[in-house]
Amino acid sequence: MTENTDVVIIGAGPVGLFAVFELGLLNIKCNLVDNLDKVGGQCAELYPEKPIYDIPSRPVVTGQELTDELIKQINPFKPKFHLNQQVEKIAKTESGWIVETNIGTKVEAKCIVVAAGAGSFVPRKPPIENIENFENKNVFYAIRDKSIFKNKKILIAGGGDSALDWTNELSKDSNVTLIHRRKEFRAAPDSVSKMQELETKGKIKFLKGQIKKISKIQDSRIMLEYENDDEKSNIEVDYLLPFFGLKMELGPIAEWGLNLHENLIKVDTEKFQTSTPSIFAIGDINWYPGKLKLILSGFHESALMAQEVFKYCFPDKKNIFRYTTSSKELQKKLGV
Amino acid sequence: MPKLIITDRSGKKSEIEYDSNFTLMETLRDNGYDIEASCGGCCACATCHVYIDEKWTNKLKNMDDDEESMLDQAFDVNNNSRLSCQIELSEELDGLEIEIAPE
């Protein structure tokens, strides 16, 4: 199925969210795509509990609070979100663009707004030589189908929520060993106590150390060498599941032919348009002389970008500048 | 100005001057070292990982729980591993030797 909208925004972080507001005031409808399973970008994924002190009029606000308030603010414009997916391809049409995600969602729009921050969040892969040869065979960074692990021997690496939750869950039907560099865990205390209980009962094993080498052995099994205080040991398993959080990378955007400046998208400072007409870039992902990676700069960029996008969406209409404080029509759109 | 001695990922050693009002991560980034620091220095990622020379490990303020937990997302973590965004520079650290950890 192909969605039809005015603008597709790539990235649902604070700047992508606020763009919905600025575009919405001009009657421009939006779809947003984000690789995470939630909106808010870095604010929600990396530092939901951390304070931000430089949002105008908010002496202090946490990453999650800022996200929640932005969602409230843009709610009148009913944006459509496509989460858990990454835009892979974009194709020019007569009237605009079709963007397609890695899971096949297609969105047709007149303009594309890239608000992708530092890029997509992807699993952080341990720097073990040749690990890529084992990926999706013996090594998985995310679990889609847990049935393949039934009655198998599994090594889970990491100390966060994913590592502990999967250790507890898979211990029901599999032989699970958890490896972590220390005996303390950053995962939720509930998951940690459950894991410790399973270990006491002998349902799972715990190893202290860091994995250094991976190699293939017979029967499609793998051998992992790990080190703890310079002492080396080995473990043989069917599967390795490393959970070391997420990192950000530019991903497919680099292939779209946009002019870049050191992995950032070059834009002008009047319209925030890229080198390709009708593709815009706002927030941390763009670059121009004097650029500062601040949320407030991204908000400003959203407002100016919207002025230009209006021309693509309504080429025959005149855009008259108005304030939300005084315009009855804008207030009607906001439902106030 | 006080100085830091930095070993980069290629093994090259160099001296840089620093201002005590900044963190080690900010100073490394400002001097053009390849340090990702994707969260911007709020101890929410582990991409500014460095090794502190053994002579200096005791002279730094101890790690708090936040930093120790974030190091769980780093690789090749040693006893002298730290997140450089959590190290506030001061005059007393003149001559501090550090090495940037692998990516």
CA distance B45 to chain A (A): 7
Number of structural domains in chain B: 1
Q: Do A20 and A109 have their domain in common?
A: yes
pLDDT at A273 over 90: yes
Query: Which residues touch A58 (CB under 8 Å, ≥6 apart)?
Result: A52, A66
CA distance B77 to chain A (A): 8
User: What confidence tens digit (pLDDT) does each residue in A300-324 have?
Assistant: 999 999 999 999 999 999 999 999 9
Inter-chain contact A184–B68, Cβ cutoff 8 Å?
yes
Specify the pLDDT at position B103: 83
Residue B9 forms contact with A (CB below 8 Å): no
Inter-chain contact A42–B39, Cβ cutoff 8 Å?
yes
Roughly what angle, to the nearest 10 degrees, separates helices A295-313 and A14-25? 40
CA distance A186 to chain B (A): 6
Q: Do A134 and A204 have their domain in common?
A: yes
User: What confidence tens digit (pLDDT) does each residue in B72-96 have?
Assistant: 999 999 999 999 999 999 999 999 9
CA distance linking residue B37 with residue A103, whole number of Å: 30
User: What confidence tens digit (pLDDT) does each residue in A22-49 have?
Assistant: 999 999 999 999 999 999 999 999 899 9
CA distance linking residue A128 with residue A224, whole number of Å: 10
Q: Which of A217, A244, A271 is the last residue of a domain?
A: A244
- Answer for the pair A152, A183: CB distance below 8 angstroms, yes or no: no
Specify the pLDDT at position A1: 75
Distances A76 to A7, A11, A80 between C-alpha atoms, Å: 16, 19, 12
Residue B86 forms contact with A (CB below 8 Å): no
pLDDT band, residue A243 (cuts 50/70/90): very high
Residue B46 forms contact with A (CB below 8 Å): yes
pLDDT band, residue A3 (cuts 50/70/90): very high
Instruction: Suggest the residue from B64, B65, B70, B72 to mutate for an interface test with chain A (most A CBs closer than 10 A).
Output: B72
Contacts of A210 in chain B (CB under 8 A): 75-77
Specify the pLDDT at position B54: 95
Indicate if the alpha-carbon torsion angle A271, A276, A279, A281 is positive or negative.
negative
Q: Do A7 and A118 have their domain in common?
A: yes
**Could you say which DSSP state residue A273 is in?**
B
CB pairs under 8 A between A and B: 50
Q: Do A54 and A138 have their domain in common?
A: no
Tell me the pairing of strands A246-249 and A120-123.
antiparallel
What's the first-to-final CA gap in chain A, in angstroms? 34
Q: Which two tokens stand for residue B79?
A: 């006893």
Specify the pLDDT at position B38: 87
Q: What are phi and psi of A31, to 5 degrees?
A: -115, 145
pLDDT at A126 over 90: yes
Q: What is the domain extent for residue B94?
A: 3-100
Q: Do A115 and A13 have their domain in common?
A: yes
Contacts of A185 in chain B (CB under 8 A): 72
Helical H segments across A114-217, by residue range:
161-170, 189-200
Query: In chain B, which stretches have pLDDT less than 70?
Result: none
Specify the pLDDT at position A218: 84
Q: Which two tokens stand for residue A221?
A: 């099994």
CA distance linking residue A313 with residue A111, whole number of Å: 8
Q: Which two tokens stand for residue A140?
A: 């998985």
CATH number reported for the structural domain that contains residue B70 in this entry: 3.10.20.30
CA distance linking residue B87 with residue A65, whole number of Å: 28
pLDDT at A12 over 90: yes
Inter-chain contact B72–A181, Cβ cutoff 8 Å?
yes
Task: Please give the model's pTM, rounded to 2 decimal places.
Answer: 0.86
Contacts of B32 in chain A (CB under 8 A): none
Residue B83 forms contact with A (CB below 8 Å): no
Q: Do A131 and A145 have their domain in common?
A: yes
Q: Do A15 and A70 have their domain in common?
A: yes
Specify the pLDDT at position B43: 92
Q: Do A254 and A281 have their domain in common?
A: yes
Residue type (1 letter), A237: V
Number of structural domains in chain A: 2
Residue type (1 letter), A175: N
Which among A160, A247, A248 has the least Cβ separation from residue B72?
A160
CATH number reported for the structural domain that contains residue A143 in this entry: 3.50.50.60
User: What confidence tens digit (pLDDT) does each residue in A166-224 have?
Assistant: 999 999 999 999 999 999 999 999 999 999 999 999 999 999 999 999 999 988 899 99
Q: Which of A244, A276, A299 is the last residue of a domain?
A: A244
User: What confidence tens digit (pLDDT) does each residue in A70-107 have?
Assistant: 999 999 999 999 999 999 999 999 999 999 999 999 99
- Answer for the pair A287, A266: CB distance below 8 angstroms, yes or no: yes
CA distance B35 to chain A (A): 13
User: What confidence tens digit (pLDDT) does each residue in A279-301 have?
Assistant: 999 999 999 999 999 999 999 99
CA distance B66 to chain A (A): 9
What is this model's ipTM? 0.86
pLDDT band, residue A53 (cuts 50/70/90): very high
CA distance linking residue A188 with residue B5, whole number of Å: 39
Of A71, A62, A20, A56, the C-alpha closest to A43 is A62
Q: What is the domain extent for residue A76?
A: 2-122+247-334
Residue B75 forms contact with A (CB below 8 Å): yes
Q: Which of A191, A217, A244 is the last residue of a domain?
A: A244
Region A326-330: what's the mean pLDDT?
96
Q: Do A161 and A22 have their domain in common?
A: no
Q: Do A105 and A19 have their domain in common?
A: yes
Which among B38, B70, B77 has the least Cβ separation from residue A210?
B77
Region A321-335: what's the mean pLDDT?
96
